[in-house]
Amino acid sequence: MSTSRAEAAVVRATYRDACREAIREALQRDERVFVMGEDVGRYGGCFAVTKGLLQEFGPERIRDTPLSESAFVGAGVGAALGGMRPIVEIMTVNFSLLALDQIVNNAATILHMSGGQLNVPLVIRMTTGAGRQLAAQHSHSLEGWYAHVPGLKVLTPATLEDARGMLWTALEDPDPVLIFEHGALYNMEGELAADAGPVDIDRAAVRRPGADLSLVTYGGSLWKCLEAAEHLAADGIDAEVVDLRTLRPLDDETILGSVARTHRAVVVDEGWRSGGISAEVAARVAEGAFWDLDAPVARVCSAEVPIPYAQHLEEAALPQVPGIVEAARRVVAGG
């Protein structure tokens, strides 16, 4: 909470708090909005994002569901078709695979298959990412898979402002939106404007301007890239950091504009290297900014293994600041 008049417009909050306030605001603003998922009510959410909302809004709007992703995501699709604005919570991205039919074959395709007659204004929130010793079935970064699918929007809020503001904009979208919240960010604390509200969900953001190379990333890796940029600055390398924010649709203009300024790029993605979002970004840079490049595009991704449980192995499998710094130095050196 703020402590002086000068600070009256700013509050201290965690990423978790920002997510919760976004949900609370949506419930207050639109009576069609309701939340459902495993343990979102009495337990307060598996990551405590919905804690207290059942007491505030009641069981009609904060609905605990059976442990069946296919059932409650399917119910969310039906509710959206019926005119409601459901927020469906899936515990982790790994478990979303149990609802692939509902997400990919139904939510993403109904508008097309109905000849434009039926929209599915559904928002699905889920936790993604590793770094918390939750082992392979709770730790993968599969958002790049969903970014492959036409008919979906894929959001990856990395800042408090985006965690607070993306949800309402997503709820106003007539089509399905997936929001991937990196689990390692929930305890991140910072300052947030007391009147923080909806934000754009179509544009990437330059989080740190620079002149020597572009570090392109999203989600939990944003903060590693910002730290890497500080290390590089000590070596006289001025790194620009681009936060993709939205993986589908990708903001080509911001990505290519950054590369046109810096002439070098490193893409950092906690997903696997093979067939991942990093490959898509690198391909678009090669297609759209080839003549601006002074060195090949480099990528820093997770190791091609299931995420290990042991802490030292998990850390070794994930992109880390030293690896990002090393890749950037190689690119600046010319290869």
65-90 burial code (b ≥16 CB/10 A, e <16): beeebeebbbbbbebbbeebbbbbbb
Write the single-letter amino acid at 299: R
- Outline where the chain has alpha helix (H): 15-29, 53-57, 69-81, 100, 110-113, 143-146, 160-172, 221-234, 252-262, 277-288, 311-317, 321-333
Q: How far is CA 205 from CA 85, 160, 179, 222, 287, in A?
A: 28, 14, 17, 11, 21
Distance between start and end Cα atoms, the chain: 48
Q: How far is CA 68 from CA 40, 96, 99, in A?
A: 14, 10, 9
Q: Where on the phi/psi map is residue 252: left (φ > 0), alpha (ψ -120 to 50), or beta?
A: alpha
DSSP of 135-198, one letter per residue? -GGGT---HHHHTTSTT-EEE---SHHHHHHHHHHHHHSSS-EEEEEEGGGTT-EEEEETT---
| Annotated active-site residue in 25, 138, 240, 263 | 138
Active site residue 25: no
- Measured in whole angstroms, how far is the alpha carbon of residue 19 from the centre of its chain? 12
| Annotated active-site residue in 21, 25, 38, 69 | 69
Three-class secondary structure assignment of 225-243 = HHHHHHHHHHCCCCEEEEE
Active site residue 138: yes
Residue 3's CB: how many other CB atoms inside 10 A? Answer: 8
- Nearest to 214, CA basis, from 171, 179, 264: 264
Helix or strand holding residue 102 (H, E) = none
Q: Are 324 and 266 in contact (CB under 8 A)?
A: yes
Catalytic residues: 69, 138
